[in-house]
Amino acid sequence: AQSVSQHNHHVILSEAASLELGCNYSYGGTVNLFWYVQYPGQHLQLLLKYFSGDPLVKGIKGFEAEFIKSKFSFNLRKPSVQWSDTAEYFCAVRRRGTALIFGKGTTLSVSS
Amino acid sequence: EAGVAQSPRYKIIEKRQSVAFWCNPISGHATLYWYQQILGQGPKLLIQFQNNGVVDDSQLPKDRFSAERLKGVDSTLKIQPAKLEDSAVYLCASSLGERKSGETQYFGPGTRLLVL
């Protein structure tokens, strides 16, 4: 079955620490990859996405993600987190003609 | 630009009762999605519409769930009768069209359903 795995359920960091959230998927072939974020009390919103081309994509608020095809991974990174980055982060994958599949999410808590 | 609107925001019902959720997508968006998000899980697609036609309803429990988008704009998702395991957040999302797999989906605030 198609799946998306997010390795960390809950990550706790101090402000200014670096962040990396793992995401792996189980499909072969061409995929589109997404990271969504849900801040407390807010809607799910797109953080960044990968279609094709440069495997390092940059998103909003200083986030970036790297697509490594050989590892079926799309890890999210930020060099220095802020308290306002406290949120739930979802990785999602889609192949042409199929539904968007979400991982279970990672809760990030940043202490000031 | 107005976002995806959903109502109600919260609903509490008893098992075996029926419930309906409403979604109004972003103006001009042809594709509309309903997702179910159970606590501790990521959203799972229930049904996808392209205008007023169903594109994918493979994960919709059709014995109790139904959805329609009659005029190709707003949509209603219904559960009848509800079960305890239907307790979840029901998210509506929309996107411009279905021509690109990488198209961005915009999500509404969700309806939080509790079945007692």
Question: Domain holding A71: CATH number?
Answer: 2.60.40.10
Distance CA(A100)–CA(A87), nearest Å, equals 21
Q: Name the residue ranges covered by the structural domains of chain B.
A: 5-99+106-115
Distance CA(B21)–CA(B74), nearest Å, equals 11
CA angle (B8 as vertex; B3, B11 as ends), nearest 5: 140
How far apart are the CA of B7 and the nearest CA of chain A, in angstroms? 14
Mean pLDDT, residues A27-48: 91
Query: Would the pLDDT of A63 be above 60?
Result: yes
Q: B5-99+106-115 has which CATH code?
A: 2.60.40.10
Name A109's bridge partners: A12
Query: Would the pLDDT of A23 be above 80?
Result: yes
Write the burial class of residue A42 (CB in 10 Å: 0-12 exposed, 13-18 middle, 19+ buried). Answer: exposed
Compute and round to an integer the Cα radius of gyration of chain B: 13
Q: What is the mean pLDDT of chain B?
A: 92
SS3 state of residue B86: helix
Q: What percent of chain B has pLDDT over 90?
A: 84
Distance CA(B9)–CA(B75), nearest Å, equals 15
Torsion sign, CA atoms A25, A27, A28, A33: negative
SS3 state of residue B77: strand
User: How many distinct structural domains can be found in chain A?
Assistant: 1
Chain A residues whose C-beta sits inside 8 Å of any chain B C-beta: 4, 32, 36, 42-46, 49-51, 90, 92, 94-100, 102-105
Least confident of A68-82, B72-86, B100-114: B100-114
Cβ distance A99 to B45 less than 8 Å, yes or no, reads yes
Distance CA(A4)–CA(A89), nearest Å, equals 13
Range of the domain at A81: 4-111
Nearest Cβ partner of A105 from B33, B42, B109?
B42
Q: Which residues numbered 40-99 in B keep a CB inside 8 Å of some CB on A? A: 40-45, 48, 56, 58-59, 91, 93
